[in-house]
Amino acid sequence: MQDTPKITPASWLMVALLAFIWGGTFMVTEIALTEMPPFWIAASRVSLAALVMIAIWSARGFRLFSQKPSRKDLSALVFISAASSAVPFSLLAWGQQYVTSGFAGVSMAAVALIILPLAHFFVQGERMTPRKSIGFAIGFAGVVVLIGAQAFESTGAAYETPGRIACLGAASCYAISSIIMRRLPSIDAIGLATILLVIASCITIPLALIAEGLPPIPSGKILGVLAFLGLVPTAAANFLRVLVVRSAGPVFMSLVNYQVPVWSVCLGALLLSEPLPASLIWSLALILAGMALSQFGALRRLFNKARA
């Protein structure tokens, strides 16, 4: 039986940290793309993350399920592994060749809107109330305002429609995998994060070989970039994601998708001297208002505890 999601101050801290990490990943990936093809970037970061997590997991005695898993539980692990990284990474790598970056950003923000109705039916304690629905819609509007007109501009590419479907398919993968992850029985968080990355590696490496052949030999700089991608936004972030989904629930975890574009824009301005869009303040206000409205109950409980 699933426990009711428990949203604590640590939950908010982990979600904010995840948004910051993933918000800066786009810049680092752009650097990696100067020497490495997209499928091999995905395979490299997932595989390195898997090796790191295996070392950590081994120190904990390879603990996983608290009781013998059923065949259904094992099948769910394989599905979550594919839908958490291997499949969406591949869909995005292919789809972004034909769509604007703005549309890709909006499709990732749509993860929260996809999760909301799914969690209502399949996750205990995640009812889709009018307040929560309005809050998520306001947050999504904030992302659209931030990205601007390019969110729905056409590239004119012949495969633009399949490309958009691929991006939305990636968003659906993230949503569905979070729902199923929450429904797993009692399981060790480090073990789960490790298994997900190991299975994802077994999918992404053959896929990269088929799609792009043998990988090029990267320079020392790019090796450092790939190491960063594997250690921080993949290994560490995957572990944090598992913790949040398993404790606070997939709906709360989906708040990350509204914050990532804001951090991406702010870090681009800070580190790459990119201009800040005039819409930043308005979009940030909408995103924060949407988050506060959708999580009003959790925030009220936290403030009441703080005053007690």
Dump pLDDT digits (tens) for 226-243.
Answer: 999 999 999 999 999 999
Q: What's the pLDDT at 306?
A: 56
Taking the C-alpha atoms of residue 172 and residue 174, their distance in angstroms, rounded to an integer, is 5
Q: What's the pLDDT at 304?
A: 67
Tokens of 181: 């992850």
Taking the C-alpha atoms of residue 29 and residue 57, their distance in angstroms, rounded to an integer, is 27
Q: Which residue has the tokens 């990355």?
A: 197
Residues 243-248 have a mean pLDDT of 92
Rg of the chain on CA atoms, in Å: 19
The residue type of 18 is: L
The residue type of 160 is: E
Instruction: Report residue 14's pLDDT band, with 50, 70 and 90 as the boundaries.
Output: very high
The residue type of 186 is: S
pLDDT over 90 (residue 268): no
**Euclidean distance between the first and the last CA atom of the chain, given in angstroms as a whole number:** 31
Summarised one tens digit per residue, pLDDT across range 126-153 is 889 999 999 999 999 999 898 887 777 7
Percent of the chain past pLDDT 70, that is, above it, reads: 96
User: Where are the domains positioned within the chain?
Assistant: 9-307
Tokens of 209: 């070989």
Taking the C-alpha atoms of residue 137 and residue 129, their distance in angstroms, rounded to an integer, is 12
Tokens of 152: 């729905």
Q: What does pTM read for this prediction?
A: 0.86
pLDDT over 60 (residue 1): no
Instruction: Say if residues 229 and 41 touch (Cβ distance below 8 Å).
Output: yes
- Which residues does 141 contact at the CB level (< 8 Å), separation at least 6? 286, 290
